[in-house]
A and B are shown apart, each in its own frame.
Chain A
Amino acid sequence: MKKVYGSAAEALDGVLHDGMLIAAGGFGLCGIPELLIDAIVESGVKDLTVASNNAGVDGFGLGKLLDTRQIKKMMSSYVGENAEFMRQYLSGELELEFNPQGTLAERMRAGGAGIPGFYTKTGYGTQIGEGKEVKVFNGEHYILEEGIFADLSIVKAWKADDTGNLVFRKTARNFNPPAAMCGKICVAEVEEIVPRGSLDPDHIHLPGIYVHRIIQGEHEKRIEQRTVRKREEA
């Protein structure tokens, strides 16, 4: 079982094809798989559908795959921090499927857990519920949402051991575990690969069974909105 690869390009070798569905972790620019996105840009694979909460910013994160027009469709809850995204969307070049954030996360988790559909109150009576099956449980209305079964998951974690057990850091965990779970193949990029046995088994956030390939690399970790407070005068 060899999961550790030398580079993002090597880790993606043989798993990319045109028209595929990719689930990506991250929230805004926090915890995004920067290195794998760069390698997908380099690969030139196209007509991608990407399930990701956001779509990056101009020139960073998934924004890079939009700049090169490799993405055909986004499944997201919040976009538009990205001028190129809006331009392509408004001109009809890019398809967009809005998903409520929790529905998107649960669709990924469900896909990874072998659940093809689930009922949720979220979106009932709104545009999101249009055309979806409605069922009443205990007098309340729920709509049917489907699990996401991705061809590939790309995620970012803080640490991994060589068996693929992952540990995330603070709010950079976000969509990474559910995104990792729903892919046929999951490639994870981490800040540090540590020897097996050095992560406490009780502190593993995502077991290595979900993770097929791992790379270690340097991350830019760009901050989207830097907000600070002043120190009180002594």
Chain B
Amino acid sequence: MPWDRNQMAARAAEELEDGMYVNLGIGIPTLVANYVGDKDITLQSENGMLGMGPFPFEGEEDPDLINAGKQTITELARTSYFDSATSFGMIRGGKIAAAILGAMEVAENGDLANWMIPGKLVKGMGGAMDLVAGVEKVVVVMDHTNKHGDSKLLKECTLPLTGKGVVDRIITNLGVLDVVEGGLKIVETADGVTEDEIRAATEATIV
């Protein structure tokens, strides 16, 4: 059985180690926070916060306290706040150990496309280009294929890039693949999914 959204998020949480400072993107990556367990993880929100807490209880929302998805959140005992230039200084400066992001396409050389589809409404890249350029380990979490059944793991991206050669690991509903010399390497399969099934669903070179 391929993994569902929550199983993908749980698998992505295994990438995180005690003591890491981590940035989670919008969508499935946000769910990763539910699966960190006892690990001491500090979440960064690029609008200017380290130590992001859960959503507030009803009635305790604070308009001055939001995450990068503009959702109301809470602070923790460890929380610190800072301005956007400082926030992206720590991102660009390689201080954030891992970023877990969604994607539209990933190429076998680690190129990532997740910010625009030409001819469709373009909302902007937000902080995605800074994150993939600066963060030490970039993990993409996405479905293996698009809604037409075409592979999202490609030889070359067809969409405009967010970053060049930036992706380290891809977690899909079918398994886990690493970007290595010459292509992608299958490092794990979802329960009941075979390597052959992953190969059949993948356009990128599997080495």
Contact A228 B87 (CB under 8 A): no
Contact B64 A109 (CB under 8 A): no
Contact B46 A229 (CB under 8 A): no
Size class of the A contact interface (CB-based, 8 Å): 35 or more
Query: Which residue of B is nearest A80, CB measured?
Result: B123
The answer, among B64, B126, B130, B160, for a CB contact under 8 Å with A171, is B64
Contact A177 B83 (CB under 8 A): yes
Contact B127 A100 (CB under 8 A): yes
Known: A122-B129, A229-B54. A170 touches B81 (CB 8 A): yes
Q: How far is the CB of A223 from chain B (nearest CB, A)?
A: 5
Contact B57 A174 (CB under 8 A): no
Known: A120-B92, A127-B160. A27 touches B61 (CB 8 A): no
- Interface residue A76 (Cβ < 8 Å from any Cβ of B): yes
Main secondary structure of the interface of B (DSSP, over half): loop
Contact A173 B81 (CB under 8 A): yes
**Residues of B contacting A78 with CB < 8 Å?**
123-126
C-beta contact mask, A126-150 vs B, less than 8 Å → 1, else 0?
A: 1110000000000000000000000
- Interface residue A33 (Cβ < 8 Å from any Cβ of B): no
Contact A105 B85 (CB under 8 A): yes
Q: How far is the CB of A2 from chain B (nearest CB, A)?
A: 27
Q: How many residues of B contact A (CB 8 A)?
A: 53
Q: How far is the CB of B133 from chain A (nearest CB, A)?
A: 4
- Interface residue A165 (Cβ < 8 Å from any Cβ of B): no
The answer, among B72, B81, B121, for a CB contact under 8 Å with A228, is B72
Interchain CA distance A230-B165 in the complex, whole Å: 41
Interchain CA distance A212-B158 in the complex, whole Å: 49
Query: Which residue of A is nearest B131, CB measured?
Result: A102
Contact B92 A102 (CB under 8 A): yes
**Residues of A contacting B126 with CB < 8 Å?**
77-78, 100-101
Please count the residue pairs between chain A and chain B whose beta carbons lie under 8 angstroms apart in the complex.
181
Known: A222-B63, A229-B57. A174 touches B72 (CB 8 A): no
Known: A78-B123, A125-B161, A227-B71. A174 touches B54 (CB 8 A): no
Known: A80-B124, A102-B130, A171-B49. A53 touches B84 (CB 8 A): yes
Query: Which residue of B is nearest A158, CB measured?
Result: B64
Q: How far is the CB of B128 from chain A (nearest CB, A)?
A: 8
- Interface residue A210 (Cβ < 8 Å from any Cβ of B): no
57-112 of chain B: CB within 8 A of chain A: 57-58, 60-67, 69-73, 75, 81-85, 87-89, 91-92, 111
Interface core residue of B55, B87, B111 (most chain A CB under 10 Å): B87
Contact A221 B161 (CB under 8 A): no
Interface core residue of A101, A124, A223 (most chain B CB under 10 Å): A101
The answer, among B45, B46, B85, for a CB contact under 8 Å with A178, is B85
Interchain CA distance A123-B126 in the complex, whole Å: 12
**Residues of A contacting B46 with CB < 8 Å?**
101-102
- Interface residue B199 (Cβ < 8 Å from any Cβ of A): no
Interchain CA distance A172-B48 in the complex, whole Å: 8
Interchain CA distance A100-B63 in the complex, whole Å: 24
**Residues of A contacting B55 with CB < 8 Å?**
227-229
**Residues of A contacting B130 with CB < 8 Å?**
100-103, 122
Interchain CA distance A224-B153 in the complex, whole Å: 34
- Interface residue B182 (Cβ < 8 Å from any Cβ of A): no
Contact A173 B83 (CB under 8 A): yes
**Residues of B contacting A127 with CB < 8 Å?**
160-161
- Interface residue A28 (Cβ < 8 Å from any Cβ of B): yes
Interchain CA distance A108-B87 in the complex, whole Å: 14
Contact B88 A106 (CB under 8 A): yes
Interchain CA distance A221-B62 in the complex, whole Å: 9
B interface with A by C-beta (< 8 Å)? 45-49, 54-58, 60-67, 69-73, 75, 81-85, 87-89, 91-92, 111, 121-130, 133-134, 160-165
Beyond contacts A100-B125, A126-B162, A227-B56: 9 other A-B pairs, Cβ-Cβ < 8 A, are A28-B66, A31-B64, A98-B122, A101-B127, A121-B133, A128-B125, A174-B84, A221-B63, A228-B72
* 9 A–B pairs (Cβ distance < 8 Å), ordered by A: A102-B85, A102-B91, A125-B163, A127-B160, A171-B67, A171-B81, A221-B63, A229-B54, A230-B57
